[in-house]
Amino acid sequence: MIRAGLGYDIHRFEKGRKLYLGGVEIPFTQGLAGHSDGDCLIHAIIDALLGASGEGDIGQLFPDTNPAFKDIRSTELLKEVIEKLKEKGMEIMNVDSIVIAEEPRLASHILGMKKILSPILGLERKHLSIKAKTNEGIGLIGKKRAVASWALVLVKMESKPGEEKA
């Protein structure tokens, strides 16, 4: 059985924080606000994976009220989600994602993101797409006050006897 999941996340910029996107620390004047490291690309991928697996969303699994997740690297959260998928007999087939930011420019960081995320996801780099776009000056993103990400994943799930085949 093939299942799809769609994820979205947005974080405002915040001074005094490091900027992490796709697991890469990107030199910039500010980072993304959040209980964790604010890596909205990984958060969107996590939500897409949780959606495909029927496991809710990132806020349910890693609530911002839990001090254990304060300032945690999002790569660690992603690893935990991957383990949950493996326990359910799910395998990621591909990830297609977009990071939307006016600044900083991200094209030169995409290979680094793929180098970090591909092994965690268990994917060859050719099955992990990360695109960088701007918001053409529109909204919080366009005013350089936030960064957003979308992710779409396809996963393969082994059917077990007695399970629905839909």
pLDDT, tens only, 68-77: 899 899 999 9
Determine contact, residues 50/61, Cβ cutoff 8 Å.
yes
- Name all domains of the chain by residue range, CATH numbers in brackets: 2-157 (3.30.1330.50)
Q: What is residue 63's predicted lDDT score, i.e. its pLDDT? A: 87
- DSSP state at residue 71: T
Tokens 């992710």 sit on residue: 151
Burial of 56 (0-12, 13-18, 19+ CB in 10 A): exposed
Q: At what angle do helices 110-121 and 74-87 cross, to 10 degrees?
A: 30
H helix runs in the chain, sequence order: 40-53, 58-61, 74-87, 110-121, 139-142
Q: What is the pLDDT of residues 99-108, one digit of tens each?
A: 999 999 999 9
Mean pLDDT of 106-126: 98
Query: Which pTM value belongs to this model?
Result: 0.94
Altogether, the residues listed in the chain come to a count of: 166
23 or 163, which is more confident: 23
Give residue for tokens 């254990």.
Answer: 68
What's the confidence (pLDDT) of residue 164? 53
Indicate the SS3 state at residue 78. helix
pLDDT of 35 above 50: yes
Average pLDDT estimate for 54-75: 91
pLDDT at 160: 62
